[in-house]
Structure 1
């Protein structure tokens, strides 16, 4: 490993340690005021749902704007480009918010499961311990399926954003009606990708709701 590579590796580890330390401090502080990891996980799942719902609306809005641009029939082409670029930037921002929220769910969930597993050794009642072990396995299995759905929804945003960025860049450097005509060929692909994105988000939202219900019981 070269010196620059070693330095980047060390910095990455340091950042990871600092972030983990900050999270641990945060969880400890919240528990002192009666807010436990389970409560934080529920709150972050609800925030993730909201961000996904907002992202769906934004991608739908972007699709409508894309349709209006490819059906351009006279007017200011640069204005059409600016509109499409604005929708792309909003969609990119909405996607990043979803990614951040999913990452926050992952952080607190792993902390919750680690704590739960560690505390199994504190039981003196064998029956209660076995019941807790079963519940932990069931909850973790449900969580893993939920995260799989969340990650699938997250991944389905990329092809849409990539296609939108391509169209924005192409139009930026070819502000003419011929360029707009060329964009029409991609409309169907974008529509299909957005439909898949919304279906994946709906699926992940349903999974999150079930997880929240489980955590609240």
Structure 2
């Protein structure tokens, strides 16, 4: 029941609590939730946020293409449609970055604690084995974080392009402006294709990391 409640915490509350990380993690451990559990949960939430962002960017691209290739209709309505897609995409991108930051916070706390506790061993063989596990887990985590960050960074040029197009159309509601937006379609498609590929790689790696983390004692 405790873990079910933990899973339902919204991102805003998680980030607020994480602002006082030591106290928060200490409180969670008293409730039977270890840092390893929190790390697995946050990686899972990041994976979900990336899945949603991937779908949003794909949907936004289709909307953008549909609007710029259609010469008829109300230009104000077209602007409103594109602006809504931009706002949704920007919101998804922000959530992904917040989720990654939350993962980094608990991971650093976990590895710091693990390293400190090595000095408490009296058995040299157990200490060495724990050190090997720590090093392996850290390397695996560093690889996952790099993939997550690469995917997140791919969002920047897409968001920038969307913002430019929305702003341009906002102040130039005419057919000529629409034609100008159409000229960026190929670049935008290429950027989003690369973004989706990186998102999928990150999602896959997150799945693997979660399974590995949960399989270890």
Please report the TM-score for the alignment, with normalisation by the length of structure 1.
Answer: 0.90
Query: In structure 1, how many angstroms separate the alpha carbons of the residues matched to 2:48 and 2:25?
Result: 23
Query: In structure 2, how many angstroms separate the alpha carbons of the residues matched to 1:178 and 1:63?
Result: 20
Corresponding residue of 1:95: 93
Query: How far apart are 1:174 and its partner, in Å?
Result: 0.7
Structure-2 change in CA distance of 1:72 and 1:20 (3 Å): closer
Corresponding residue of 1:3: none
Corresponding residue of 2:175: 177
In the alignment of these two chains, the number of paired residues is 200
Is 1:117–2:115 an aligned residue pair?
yes
Q: Give 5+ residue unaligned stretches, structure 2.
A: 1-15
Q: Give 5+ residue unaligned stretches, structure 1.
A: 1-17
Is 1:26–2:11 an aligned residue pair?
no
Query: Residue deviations 1:38-64, cap 9 Å, x none?
Result: 000011011001000000111011001
Query: In structure 2, how many angstroms separate the alpha carbons of the residues matched to 1:165 and 1:184?
Result: 15
Corresponding residue of 1:154: 152
Please report the TM-score for the alignment, with normalisation by the length of structure 2.
Answer: 0.90
Corresponding residue of 2:133: 135
Q: 1:202 aligns with which of 180, 200, 203?
A: 200
Structure-2 change in CA distance of 1:19 and 1:42 (3 Å): closer
Query: In structure 1, how many angstroms separate the alpha carbons of the residues matched to 2:46 and 2:207?
Result: 11
Cα RMSD, aligned residues only: 1.3
List aligned pairs for 1:44-55, cutoff 5 A: 44-55=42-53
Native 8 Å contact 2:17 2:24 kept in 1: no
